[in-house]
Structure 1
Amino acid sequence: MGASCYNIGSNCAPWEAYPNSTENCTNAWSCQPGQSCTASNGCTGVCAYTSPSEFYSGSPVGCVASPSSPTCGNVCCGGNEICSSGICKPRCGDSPYDPATQCCESNEVLPKFEIDELADCPHRTPRPGWTPTVNGCGPDGLGWLVPDVMYRTNFRPSCDIHDTCYGTCNSDRGACDIALRDQMSAACRARHTNPSSVYRQDCLDVANEFYEKVNEKGAGSFEDAQKTGCICCQ
């Protein structure tokens, strides 16, 4: 086994002779004397060399933290951390935050499980364990009542699918509304197979009018459903 050594190019200096000679050896030092390094407490330091003696037989080199290092307790915080009450915590701008219950968006600390404005949480993810609620074709602020069954056509499945789409985190509202119209129209055609049926045309008119009302006035319902179905960040 070769001596412990200091790297010099492809060769190294045995610590007994450093820095006056070099020879090939197998064990490289953990750091090079005089160069910057990271100490065991996470602080930036300088690699120091200790000459061998009858009183010292430990490692010839070690990283010594600078006395001026900004310590937090007895450690130094990383670049993405900040000291808070003697503990290194994740940094959000100039403030600490807890990723378990908080999010950091645009250097602002926000609640993780409660969304005030959707725009403040661009990295929304589905709420764990959440299943969107459905309530059929109720008016829900539209100002126009559409029953679940109209013109002998059952619209309830189409409306429930729409409710689920609104309550699914990060869904596209426009796509949800178009799907509602198409599914209601398909239900009309399936129930009234005669293309010339008055009931069929009236049913299709209701489907289209309901779509227009939802598209015009459904923004608030969509936002409320998204705030419930999402959390602010992962």
Structure 2
Amino acid sequence: MLTMKYLILSSMIFINTVLSNPITNYTQSHRGCGPFGIDIDTLLAKEGVGSITPCCVQHDQCYSTCGTTRDMCNNDFKNCTTTACKTQQTSSSSKCLNYANILYRITSVLGIPSFDISQAVACNQTSQLG
């Protein structure tokens, strides 16, 4: 069941990333979990997993801070979600950790364009975006 949810979630994120034009749709914001309309917190809540939105906001802020590295931001995201999951009730903690690991992997693979654009904007290098 977790594999199917992983496949669906990763497919949704991939399709959404491919269909969006990152230059014209980009706004430097910290909107939380999920790219462009995918509400990860709602999906997690349906699974009985608590919110990890503060970790997602922190991740967005890290991507949008000039000079950070993608690995640093992604590793901080993984540490934050792991800590958030461990503070949840025992019954949902392991499920949360599974989802946190999935989100980390998806972000590590599919977050490259978002990171590059965020860095270019944050470092005032918008001429490199087009």
Aligned counterpart in structure 1 of residue 80 of structure 2, from 183, 186, 193: 183
**Structure 1: distance between partners of 2:81 and 2:104:** 9
**Structure 2: distance between partners of 1:168 and 1:161:** 11
1:226 aligned onto 2:119: yes
1:155 aligned onto 2:52: yes
Alignment partner, residue 135 of structure 1: 31
Identity %: 29
**Structure 2: distance between partners of 1:165 and 1:153:** 22
1:1-234 equivalences under 5 Å are 133-140=29-36, 146-147=40-41, 150=45, 151-192=48-89, 194=90, 197=91, 199-232=92-125
Q: CA deviation at 1:230?
A: 0.8
Structure 2 unaligned regions, length at least 5: 1-27, 126-130
Q: Conserved in 2, the CA contact under 8 Å of 1:146 and 1:210?
A: no
Q: CA deviation at 1:181?
A: 1.2
Q: What code does the residue aligned with 2:119 have?
A: Q
Structure 1 unaligned regions, length at least 5: 1-131
Of structures 1 and 2, the larger Rg is shown by 1
**Structure 1: distance between partners of 2:36 and 2:77:** 15
Q: Conserved in 1, the CA contact under 8 Å of 2:49 and 2:95?
A: no
Change (3 A) 1:133 1:145: closer
User: What RMSD in Å do the two structures reach over aligned CA positions?
Assistant: 2.3
Count the aligned residue pairs: 96
What are the superposed Cα offsets for residues 94-145 of structure 1, whole Å, 9 maximum, x if unpaired? xxxxxxxxxxxxxxxxxxxxxxxxxxxxxxxxxxxxxx5201002349xx76
User: Normalization by structure 2: what TM-score?
Assistant: 0.65
User: Normalization by structure 1: what TM-score?
Assistant: 0.38
**Structure 1: distance between partners of 2:63 and 2:96:** 24
Change (3 A) 1:140 1:214: farther
Q: Does the residue aligned with 2:30 lie in a helix, a strand or coil? A: coil
Q: Which has the higher contact order (CA 8 A, sep 6+)?
A: 2
Q: What code does the residue aligned with 2:121 have?
A: T
**Structure 1: distance between partners of 2:51 and 2:120:** 29
Q: CA deviation at 1:185?
A: 1.3
Q: Does the residue aligned with 1:154 lie in a helix, a strand or coil? A: coil
What are the superposed Cα offsets for residues 150-169 of structure 1, whole Å, 9 maximum, x if unpaired? 33411110000000000000
**Structure 1: distance between partners of 2:33 and 2:65:** 18
Query: Structure 1 or 2: larger strand share?
Result: 1
